[in-house]
Amino acid sequence: MTVANGLEQVIVAETEISFVDGERGRLVFRGRWAKDLSDTHRFEEVAHLLWYGSLPSGEEKADIAAKWASEREISAGVKAVIDAIPREVGMMSVLRTAVSALETEGFGYPPTLEQAASITMKLPTIVAYCYRRLKGLAPVEPRTDLRHTANYLYMLKGEEASPVHVQALEAYLNLMMEHGMNSSTFAARVIASTRSDLISAVVGAIGALKGPLHGGAPSLVMNMLRDIGSKDRAEAWIRSKLENDGRIMGFGHRVYKTKDPRAEALRLIASRLSDSDPCLELAVHVEETAIRLLEEYKPGKKLYTNVEFYAAAVMNAIDFEEELFTPTFVVTRSVGWCAHILEAAAGRLIYPDSAYVGQLPSE
């Protein structure tokens, strides 16, 4: 047997959901380029593609939006569970526990597309309820007349967000919905393969995403952008870092050996919206300056912008605090998890081997 630490380069399943091509910098959702879906479709439409295998027709769009919006409310029981948790407990831990409480609302085996839509629609409500409780603010109930992303921002802020902020966040959510056999998705598939319920698989995925090696927030990029502060400071700040062996955050990626297609898509959107938002304008300028100076100081290294850079730019623009970074990742990645859970639930039990390297008893 060959030991593959970390399971790198080991294929554990066949899937029709997505394709991550790290060598060529490509990301495909159900036969479509993810970058082309980022700002041309609503969150609900991309979720429909990942779950059903096709984009909704013109007639279906309104029906799906209305039907899924009706699933946003959470019960008094779930709110009571959240309220019982001490406020010093981290957001991700509270979120994990709150999602467990959804089992009282009929999420039994086998997992279904209706269950997937229900939990995905409830997650923003749970996150917003947890966040406003943490800040000592009254909860804001979901609205059915707003689309998914606009409603999420409304519940967090207590007022409707600007169209620019909705568009920027929706592009981020659409791009981050799914990304192959990552750690949290694999955890969800393992649980689903045991014929457990969808809630258990999503809770397991949340536990995996909570780890800083997987769902770590782009806080270091945020700190960098805030420290730079304005376009006129960018070049001097970056030069100082590079001349003192400092690291410019938001460049390089473990999977992508070339440009991260998600970062490329978010960059185009940020560039288009930058005239309407100074935070996005600063991010575009910092990236352009950093790439030019990295090539000057580290020629041939080809350090490309990763998605964390523009995730931080979007979070900075919409004034998200660090507590919301990873929970917002959950809000969107739940779509991919549910697609994989449904696929794995119909497959073979995942039961890998291990190589024993300890002592044996004497004969």
The per-residue DSSP string of 265-331 comes to HHHHHHHHHGGG-HHHHHHHHHHHHHHHHHHHHSTT---PBPHHHHHHHHHHHTT--GGGHHHHHHH
Show the tokens assigned to 111. Answer: 């997992």
Instruction: Report which of 128, 122, 127, 124 is spatially closest to residue 140, judged by C-alpha positions.
Output: 128
3-state secondary structure labels for all residues of 333-363: HHHHHHHHHHHHHCCCCCCCCCCCCCCCCCC
Task: Report the SS3 class of residue 71.
Answer: coil
Which of the following is catalytic: 48, 281, 308, 340?
A: 308
Rounded Cα distance, 91 and 254, in Å: 27
Residues in the chain, overall count: 363
CB 345 within 8 A of CB 193: yes
Rounded Cα distance, 190 and 192, in Å: 6
Show the tokens assigned to 182. Answer: 């990552």
Which of the following is catalytic: 253, 281, 287, 340?
A: 253
CB 33 within 8 A of CB 55: no
Residue 59, class by beta-carbon neighbours within 10 Å (0-12 exposed, 13-18 middle, 19+ buried)? exposed
- 308 as an active site residue: the answer is yes
Backbone φ, ψ for residue 213 (5° rounding): -75, -15
Residues labelled as active-site residues: 253, 308
